[in-house]
């Protein structure tokens, strides 16, 4: 198994960060062939999604998360910025892991699919994502 960690700066605003190019770069560096790329986010307040990007879907996803998880004082988990407790619910909706097939060293994504880190926690501006390639 080949593995490495990447760091993503999400800053002080909610963000959907496209990781697809970093995943491709990783596969190129290790000269991957066929297998599985597994991504893991070791954070209690971030998740991963495979979505279309560049068409407004990122903003739509953040808007939907605001509807589902409002940033207000209803949450029992009450430290950090207002509504921070909702950030701890996010990984139940967008899990902190994803696995993508790899064929001939290439991600087997659909035409419009991208691998994205979703971070609504404005209290933690730097995220770590572990990429692991499991050859077949």
At residue 82, the pLDDT reads: 81
| Residue 53 DSSP label | -
The candidate with the shortest Cα–Cα distance to 69, out of 46, 96, 90, 44, is: 90
| pLDDT, tens digit only, all 136 positions of the chain | 999 999 999 988 999 999 999 999 999 999 999 999 999 999 999 999 999 999 999 999 999 999 999 999 888 887 888 888 999 999 999 999 999 999 999 999 999 999 999 999 999 999 999 999 999 9
Number of CB atoms found within 10 A of residue 90's CB: 22
> Please, what are the domains in the chain?
2-135 (2.60.120.460)
Question: What is the four-CA torsion angle of 117, 124, 126, 100, rounded to 10 degrees?
Answer: -20
What pTM was estimated for this model as a whole?
0.94
Tokens standing for 5? Answer: 């960690």
At residue 81, the pLDDT reads: 84
The candidate with the shortest Cα–Cα distance to 19, out of 2, 46, 44, 45, is: 46
């Amino acid at each position: 198994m080949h593995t490495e960690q990447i760091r993503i700066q999400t800053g002080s605003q909610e963000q959907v960060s496209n990781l697809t190019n970093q995943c491709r770069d990783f596969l190129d560096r290790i000269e991957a062939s066929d297998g599985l790329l597994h991504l893991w986010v070791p954070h209690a307040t971030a998740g991963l999604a495979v979505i279309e990007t560049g068409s407004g879907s990122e903003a739509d996803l953040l808007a939907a998360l605001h509807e589902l998880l409002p940033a207000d004082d209803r949450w029992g988990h009450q430290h950090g910025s207002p509504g921070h407790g909702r950030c701890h619910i996010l990984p139940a909706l967008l899990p902190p892991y994803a696995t993508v097939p790899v064929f001939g060293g290439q991600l087997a994504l659909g035409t419009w699919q991208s691998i994205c880190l979703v971070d609504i926690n404005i209290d933690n501006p730097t995220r770590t994502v572990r990429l692991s390639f499991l050859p077949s």
